[in-house]
A = this chain, B = another copy of it.
Amino acid sequence: MAYKILIVDDEKMLTELLSSHLQKCGYEAFVAENAEQTISMLNVYPDLILLDINMPEIDGLELCKMIRQNVVCPILFLTARITEQDKINGLQAGGDDYITKPFSLKELTARVAAHLRRDERSKCTPKIVSSQGLIVNLAERTIFYGEKPLNLSNREFDIVEFLMRNANQIFDRERIYEAVWGLNAEGDSGVIKEHIRKIRNKLKEATGREYIETVWGMGYRWKK
């Protein structure tokens, strides 16, 4: 069974981004937007908690203490700035680590993985998915069409994985950029166009089929 991660934050944008990304990484994500929801969410017994300290009307540290009374899993703070004093306060409240905003999704998942690893219980993340004749190995980040390997680069794999997981949905380039890079897209740099091209070539090469459809004026979608 996948690790369960509880995200506590009041910014919808961020929680959505985080939960979709964590799901992409094979975790099960839960979201709580306030103290009340958080406490009731503890019933799912999360394996790790991401907690924003700077929420209006809620004292993150107090919330952390309350959580600690009920669970022992790692608690990682999300915070804008961090002073030495913040660190001490946080640790006293029962936190395990800090992630300072802004952070990349890569960094976040690395830290999450590190803590889960340290916590060491049997890891059972789903590894292999298959779709339309493509066999996707999430652990090795490889995709095969039968015996033929796709040989995607890391970025290419990220994009394919994202589109595949959200098959049939249309995403414009900005959205894809945000989802995969974990950053806000500033204008259209054209990176996505180029990556989509490379991906399409490799897919066509190996399978002879079209997987990524262009919806004119809207974006791209993975055909299912």
For A97, the chain B residues whose CB sits under 8 A away are 127-128
Question: Whole-angstrom distance between the alpha carbons of A100 and B153 in the complex?
Answer: 24
For A153, the chain B residues whose CB sits under 8 A away are 217
Is the pair B217, A140 in contact by a Cβ cutoff of 8 Å? no
A169 touching B135 in the complex, CB below 8 Å, given contacts A82-B130, A217-B153: no
Can you tell how many copies of this chain the complex includes?
2
Is the pair A128, B98 in contact by a Cβ cutoff of 8 Å? yes
For A99, the chain B residues whose CB sits under 8 A away are 128
For A118, the chain B residues whose CB sits under 8 A away are 122
For A103, the chain B residues whose CB sits under 8 A away are 135
For A82, the chain B residues whose CB sits under 8 A away are 129-130
Partner pick for A1 among B91, B124, B135, B147, CB 8 A cutoff: B91
Is the pair B170, A139 in contact by a Cβ cutoff of 8 Å? yes
Closest Cβ–Cβ distance, residue A111 to chain B (whole Å): 8
Question: Whole-angstrom distance between the alpha carbons of A127 and B114 in the complex?
Answer: 11
* Size bin of chain A's contact surface: 35 or more
For A124, the chain B residues whose CB sits under 8 A away are 96
Is the pair B140, A215 in contact by a Cβ cutoff of 8 Å? yes
For A87, the chain B residues whose CB sits under 8 A away are 126
Question: Whole-angstrom distance between the alpha carbons of A53 and B20 in the complex?
Answer: 30
Partner pick for A218 among B100, B107, B141, B146, CB 8 A cutoff: B141
Closest Cβ–Cβ distance, residue A219 to chain B (whole Å): 11
Question: Whole-angstrom distance between the alpha carbons of A117 and B153 in the complex?
Answer: 28
Closest Cβ–Cβ distance, residue A36 to chain B (whole Å): 28
Is the pair B104, A128 in contact by a Cβ cutoff of 8 Å? no
Is the pair A128, B146 in contact by a Cβ cutoff of 8 Å? no
| CB closest chain-B residue, reference A104 | B147
Closest Cβ–Cβ distance, residue A32 to chain B (whole Å): 23
Q: A1-B91, A139-B169 are in contact. List 16 more A-B contacts (CB 8 A).
A: A82-B129, A82-B130, A97-B127, A100-B128, A100-B130, A100-B135, A102-B146, A104-B146, A107-B128, A107-B144, A111-B128, A114-B178, A114-B184, A118-B122, A139-B170, A154-B217
